[in-house]
Amino acid sequence: MFIVIHSLVTSVSLTVLESRNITMHFVTEFVLLGFPGQREMQNFFFSLILVIYLLTLLGNGAIVCIVKWDKQLHTPMYILLGNFAFLEIWYISSTVPNMLVNILSETKTISFTGCFLQFYFFFSLGTTECFFLSVMAYDRFLAICRPLHYPSIMTGKLCVILVCVCWVSGFLCYPIPIILISQLPFCGPNIIDHFVCDPGPLFALACIPAPSTELICYTFNSVIIFGPFLSIMGSYTLVLRAVLRVPSDAGRTKAFSTCGSHLMVVSLFYGTLMVMYVSPTSGNPAGMQKVVTLVYSAVTPLLNPFIYSFRNKDMKNALKKVLGLRSNQN
């Protein structure tokens, strides 16, 4: 199937180029401009992003280790959290190390293959995150709205299946859009005013307009974003309805606090994604695109450990146990 798509797109591109008498000159590398400014400003961006990266690795790595080492946390909720934290480590690592190298580099180049590999892993991991957020919301729905049936529904086997489906489906979604974009003719210039290889700037660099490919990609992005998002909203709507029926004020406050923190992450992540990828005619300035991309690619993975886990009593107790800080109390 991929070979058919490759041949079709290539033949169409060559036909259009020949009809316009455009000489083929294949781009072998791209230039990622990254963040503008003098060396002092570049050093500030480097330090800020490096601190965010290290804190993200530390926070999410701690969650992975805690869930792995504490057998009391070997439950569906924490298995999902552990996988989500592991995902966040790879998600931020798909862009930030290259971003840091790019800030220090004089040439700021990335190879054609490297650009599309980054594109693939960045978007595949982001898609996997969308699926995990949806599954985690469903898990909370079962725990709060179906507490008596929760152990029989969310079994260890089902949890493992859901985790595998999230990982596998996330990496199976983007080969076709990436093949379609990579087969567009890039004749120069090769300058991308961004710090990651993103479809918007890549479409702008193509030698010929590709409205059909753009429509396919943006429709694809919309389905991937809105599908899990509507599932999450549905789960939390039912959760909030159930919480409002709780007679205890303390119980309602605790549930609202948990749901509110989860929805804050969902809103931050999905809000920025929709700004960037849902509308093909958004026409956001390059500076705004960079800020928005930085929020969902670096800031959100940094905040997730604190919002999802470190505000959780069981996680905090497990952290104390792992670090050997638990006091000798009965």
- Residue type for position 195: F
What is the structure's pLDDT at 47?
93
- What is the pTM (predicted TM-score) of this model? 0.85
pLDDT for 4 beyond 60: no
What is the structure's pLDDT at 263?
79
Tokens at residue 31, please?
């230039």
In the structure, what pLDDT confidence band is assigned to residue 279 with cuts at 50, 70 and 90?
low
pLDDT for 189 beyond 80: yes
For residue 153, give Cα distances in angstroms to 2, 159, 268.
38, 10, 30
Exposure of 269 in the CB half-sphere (CA atoms within 13 A): 29
**Residues 194-239: tens digit of each pLDDT:** 888 988 888 888 888 888 888 888 888 888 888 999 999 999 889 8
**Residues 31-71: tens digit of each pLDDT:** 998 887 788 888 898 999 999 999 999 999 989 988 888 88
* Cβ atoms of residues 84 and 136 within 8 Å: yes
pLDDT for 251 beyond 90: no
The mean predicted confidence, pLDDT, of the chain is 82
Domains of the chain and any CATH numbers: 37-312 (1.20.1070.10)
Task: For 83-118, give the secondary structure using H, E and C.
Answer: HHHHHHHHHHHCCHHHHHHHHHCCCCEEEHHHHHHH
Q: What is the mean pLDDT of residues 273-293?
A: 70
Lowest mean per-residue pLDDT among 99-113, 154-168, 244-258 = 244-258
